[in-house]
């Protein structure tokens, strides 16, 4: 089996894990929530204002900070966002474990004295 085929097979296996499925569904739930989408849009606009002020060396107004914090609290308080964050953390833990196993395979493969056709 070549490396591309093995990688594609690994991707297919990852897509079948509960961690991926829950994360994927949580992301779709967030995308489909119109109220949350509007809050996220407003938050991004405020983030842009903050970044622009920082680039221009301007002090960020207390009003802008308060508005930003208000949006952030509203977004973080949404159940769908909390679910997305939790499922993302579980998915990332699984992917870190996969990466560790790949690194272990590389280390073991590099120590092998068996010559294979590449």
pLDDT tens digit sequence for 11-41: 999 999 999 999 999 999 999 999 999 999 9
d(CA 115, CA 84): 45
Task: With a cut of 70, say whether residue 114 has pLDDT above it.
Answer: no
Within a domain: 28: yes
Confirm whether 56 is domain-assigned. Answer: yes
In a domain, 101, yes or no: yes
Domain boundaries, position 93: 15-105
Number of domains in the chain: 1
Residue 117 belongs to a domain: no
- CA distances to 1, 101, 110, 112 from 116, in Å: 12, 21, 12, 10
d(CA 104, CA 112): 12
Does residue 40 sit within a domain?
A: yes
pTM of the model: 0.76
**Is 116 within the bounds of a domain?**
no
Q: Check residue 115 and give its pLDDT.
A: 60
Is the predicted pLDDT of residue 112 greater than 80, yes or no? no
CATH number of domain containing 22: 1.20.1500.10
What letter would DSSP give residue 1? -
Let me know if residue 94 belongs to a domain. Answer: yes
């Amino acid at each position: 089996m070549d490396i591309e085929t093995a990688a594609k097979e690994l991707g297919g296996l990852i897509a079948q894990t509960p961690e991926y499925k829950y994360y994927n569904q949580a992301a779709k739930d967030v995308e489909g929530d119109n109220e949350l989408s509007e809050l996220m849009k407003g938050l991004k606009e405020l983030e842009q204002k903050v970044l622009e002020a920082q680039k221009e060396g301007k002090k960020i107004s207390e009003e802008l900070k308060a508005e930003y914090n208000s949006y952030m609290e509203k977004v973080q308080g949404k159940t769908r966002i909390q679910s997305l964050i939790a499922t993302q953390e579980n998915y990332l833990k699984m992917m870190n474990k996969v990466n560790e196993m790949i690194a272990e395979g590389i280390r073991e493969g590099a120590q092998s004295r068996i010559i294979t056709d590449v």
